[in-house]
Structure 1
Amino acid sequence: MRDLLVELEKAVQQKKPVCYTCLVETRGSTPQKPGAAMLIFRDGSQIGTLGGGCVEAEVKRRALRLIDAATPEIMTFQLDSDYGWDDGLICGGRMKVLVDPINTEEDLCYFQSMAQLLASDQGCTEAIVISPESAEGGSETDRFLIDANSKIIAQRGQQEPPAQLLMSLKPIQNRPRPYLKAGIAYLTFHQTCELVIVGCGHIGQKVAELASDVGFEIIAADDRQEYCNVERFPTAKQLIVGNFDTALSDLSITRDTFIIIVTRGHNHDEEALGHLAESPARYIGMIGSKRKVKLIFEDLLRTGTPREALAKVHAPLGFDIGSQTVPEIALSIVAELVAYRNLDTIPTGYQRSSLVEEIKAVK
């Protein structure tokens, strides 16, 4: 979305007519979900996608009719044989698409506010009135940008916000999916979470690749530069090379930080967990067999790490999917990270008691 907004601003500054289109509501089976966005230019070119196929072509055809208009519209598409017969894909769902012609600097102001909110990376919500009768206020296509503190910071449209706009708002910190409430579509933009990967061996490298694809910002740490480098971790925003005791002490860890410990050996894992167990990280996971994890927990309890801190550590790390190869192990780890990020818990079928509960008091 950030790249799309950059292209939108560039088009307006170059006086190129453009339509901003966005999927605001879906029902049933559809090729994309709410929040998907696309720019359409007068020559028929586009940036972004609403899912491809015939429906996207129809959105483009209708949008080109509005490209010089002064007001946006919401269009409804029923995904039946009219949109699937030529490629064999008949989804059977329904899509509502906002089509907004952007022609002036004034039109652009709302999107500049959106770009600033996204750049702050605190998370935000866009609320779009799609049914004024249900919303009890506002006009169709009225839009409101709401920051992470539930404050309206920009709007596109002339009407006052519907009375229930903020009452129906779900906290962005809970990472809600796009939703519809009382005639208002809420599109959510979540804060990016950092993933600190301690250990840059084969598993750490593969986890970085997969986690980057699903929206984590990667920080990789190891005491070996031949493993911790840009060639092996091209998507990492930060690479930390140094002894684990000093390198990890300099990390800035917040409530939105995820950490996995996947070093090359028992001693390094224990050293890393000793530094990180009491940090404010939202998630800490450590790889290893149950026996190894319990040995590390016992050592750390003996040296003063609080039992309650170790109880929060996810170990052994990753969902039990019968993983054997490096890609399978990495996949199981990233699946657990995504679940915890999106649900703020481990799904019921994968929950397990902490191994620290099996350890009696140590001397």
Structure 2
Amino acid sequence: MWIDKAKKLMDKGSPFVIATVVKAQGSTPRGVGARMIVSASGETFDTIGGGEVEKIVIERSKTVLENGKHECLSFSLKGDRWLVTDDIYVEGMCGGSIEILLEAVLPKIEVVIFGGGHIGSKLADLCHIMEIPCRIYDNRNEFASIDRFPYAKKVICAPYEVLQEKIELTDSSFCVVLTHGHVYDHVVLKALLPQKQVPYIGMIGSKHKVGAIIENIAEGGVLPDNRLYSPIGLNIGWRRPQEIALAIMAEIQAVISGGTPSHCRIDWTERIQ
């Protein structure tokens, strides 16, 4: 059923559209309450009647996912053709009218922190303030504990070399690499880059250190792409762990919302002259 597939997609952090027949008069493919799931790839589960109506719903679902806004499509039979809301005509077989509501379901993002040290701890605190779920992964028992991260959705203690077996990442997983050693940063980045569903990978470090790691993993065939933000964080003049965490959170927020790292201020001195 559509509801089972919707739950699976939500658990995976994948966006989708629920198409629901909210009004039906006369002869229509399906009645009020019929639902269909349309995934981000255009795959469908269940049906609202098939045919040209369903084809248009699938196509319009792409736009609904892009802008995150609900949309209601109306179809009515005029002669032997369906008239769509925006003056699109398609061949029709029924003799009634139908309205279909398209609702975007966009899973809430999570922050996955690899490294539970000072910066990771402060970043987790900011996630709590921002109401963003976070998961912590560290290979040290003393840094991967519920006592240290009381607000985390999950805390995992395991070697970084087996992270692909220990943690499942989704389309909503914003990954931050803050381990306690260059070797571990290398291991984590090498494991994360091939996971194309991950939308953001941020790694701390100087340009020299980051460059050396990227060159090393590139020799093994793992190439960086534009999901990689490293050195991580907006340039806000940070030094202390809480300031670095703030710079990281600001960057993640900018990526999520499509914002730009610039001032909002107005030059009021010119306005009053």
Which range, TM-score by smaller chain?
0.5 to 0.7
Aligned counterpart, 1:207: 123
| 1:239 partner letter | V
* Secondary structure of 1:308 counterpart: coil
Q: Cα–Cα, structure 1 residues 286 and 334, in superposed 2: closer, same or farther, change >3 Å?
A: same
Matches within 5 A, 1:78-117: 114=3, 117=6
* Secondary structure of 2:210 counterpart: helix
Q: Cα–Cα, structure 1 residues 241 and 179, in superposed 2: closer, same or farther, change >3 Å?
A: same
**Residue 261 of structure 1: CA displacement?**
0.7
Distance 2:189 2:30 in 1: 54
1:124 aligned residue (12, 16, 23): 16
Query: Identical aligned pairs, as a percentage?
Result: 23
* Secondary structure of 2:223 counterpart: helix
Residues 15-37 of structure 1 deviation map (CA, whole Å, 9 limit, x = unaligned): xxxxxxxxxxxxxxxxxxxxxxx
2:232 aligned residue (308, 313, 317): 317
Distance 1:222 1:258 in 2: 16
Are residues 1:301 and 2:193 paired? Answer: no
Aligned counterpart, 1:225: 141
**Residue 275 of structure 1: CA displacement?**
4.5
TM-score scaled by length of structure 1: 0.47
Structure 1: gaps of 5 or more residues: 1-111, 352-363
Residues 305-329 of structure 1 deviation map (CA, whole Å, 9 limit, x = unaligned): 5583276521121233455654554
**Residue 300 of structure 1: CA displacement?**
4.7
| 2:139 partner letter | D
Residues 31-78 of structure 1 deviation map (CA, whole Å, 9 limit, x = unaligned): xxxxxxxxxxxxxxxxxxxxxxxxxxxxxxxxxxxxxxxxxxxxxxxx
**Residue 124 of structure 1: CA displacement?**
3.1
Distance 1:141 1:215 in 2: 36
2:71 aligned residue (167, 175, 180): 180
CA contact (8 A) 2:190 2:222 kept: no
* Secondary structure of 1:167 counterpart: helix
Distance 2:231 2:38 in 1: 37
Cα-Cα RMSD: 4.5
Q: Cα–Cα, structure 1 residues 267 and 168, in superposed 2: closer, same or farther, change >3 Å?
A: closer
Q: Which has the higher contact order (CA 8 A, sep 6+)?
A: 2
Distance 1:329 1:223 in 2: 22
Structure 2: gaps of 5 or more residues: 75-99, 263-273
CA contact (8 A) 2:24 2:32 kept: no
TM-score scaled by length of structure 2: 0.59
Distance 1:307 1:171 in 2: 33
